[in-house]
Amino acid sequence: MTRAAVVIGASGGIGAALEDALVEEGEFAKVWGLARSRSGEAHIDITDEASIEAAAARVAKGPPLHRVIVATGLLHDGERGPEKAMKDLDGDWLARNFAVNAIGPALVAKHFVPLLAQGSAAVFAALSARVGSISDNRLGGWHGYRASKAALNMLVKGVAIEATRTNKRSIVVALHPGTVDTPLSKPFQGNVAPGKLFDPGRAALQLLDVIDGLKPVDTCKVIAWDGEEIAP
């Protein structure tokens, strides 16, 4: 049976590598690489629900959908970066973190999860982060990024529970890619342990290996690049 995969955020470091790997592996008859910076049928803006809905309508016309990977994220923008302390909290920056890191992927799930092939172990995966784990937060700081990723993890769980009501084999997860050598992590790579900074190509293959190994029992989970489940 012909199958389709979608990568949202395909112009970013991890997203582009995921798209390339999926195309190269040849497992899917159609690989949709969608991004805000792309035009026409490849355009999507996850901060605009109408754009998401239109992209989903285009994908729905193609082969049955078996993979959706949301590879978008916001950690810093220009001089604005993650908060180091409570005094740095800013309402507008918090709202933008939530818009990109939590609300956007949730709206993507709203429109794309119903398109997943019924009766199959189709996968919807959104890139999260280990720092979104509440139980793992021992340092504080990075309030907006941490909180928005924690919100994403909760939204993923809620979507996963609902998805199983119509397809008991569906798999909806959040994935932690590790620290990847992309513009998102660039200002913070100095503290990364040797051997733990992954190039995008390696990160993409690690994530796809995790996805390929998922089973319906794994739905709702937050899973790291090495297959380890991350506690909420």
Residue-wise pLDDT for 63-113, tens only, equals: 999 999 999 999 999 889 999 999 999 999 999 999 999 999 999 999 999
Structure confidence at residue 140 (pLDDT): 94
Cβ(95)–Cβ(147) below 8 Å? no
Domain boundaries, the chain: 4-224
Residue 209 pLDDT > 90, yes or no? yes
Residue 190 pLDDT > 80, yes or no? no
Q: In angstroms, rounded to a whole number, what is the distance separating the alpha carbons of residues 116 and 70?
A: 14
Token pair 């507008």 is found at 92
Q: H-type helices in 136-199, by residue range?
A: 143-163
Q: Determine the average pLDDT of the residues in 204-213.
A: 98
Q: In angstroms, rounded to a whole number, what is the distance separating the alpha carbons of residues 104 and 70?
A: 9
Three-state SS at 50: helix
Structure confidence at residue 124 (pLDDT): 98
Of the CA atoms within 13 Å of residue 231, those in its CB half-sphere come to 4
Number of helical H runs and strand E runs in the chain: 6, 8
* Band of pLDDT at residue 184, cut at 50, 70 and 90: confident
* Band of pLDDT at residue 1, cut at 50, 70 and 90: low
Model confidence over 129-142: pLDDT tens digits? 999 999 999 999 99
Percent with pLDDT over 70 in the chain: 97
> Average model confidence (pLDDT) for the chain?
95
Residue 43 pLDDT > 90, yes or no? yes
Structure confidence at residue 53 (pLDDT): 98
At residue 150, what are phi and psi to the nearest 5 degrees? -65, -40
CA geometry: angle at 207 spanning 188 and 120, to 5°?
145
At residue 197, what are phi and psi to the nearest 5 degrees? -100, 110
Q: What is the pTM of this model?
A: 0.94
Burial of 84 (0-12, 13-18, 19+ CB in 10 A): exposed
- Select 4-224's CATH number: 3.40.50.80, 3.20.10.10, 3.30.470.20, 3.40.50.720: 3.40.50.720
Q: In angstroms, rounded to a whole number, what is the distance separating the alpha carbons of residues 203 and 178?
A: 8
Query: 139-143 long-range CB contacts below 8 Å, 24 or more apart?
Result: 140/85, 141/82, 141/83, 141/84, 141/85, 142/82, 142/83, 143/82, 143/83, 143/86, 143/88, 143/89, 143/94
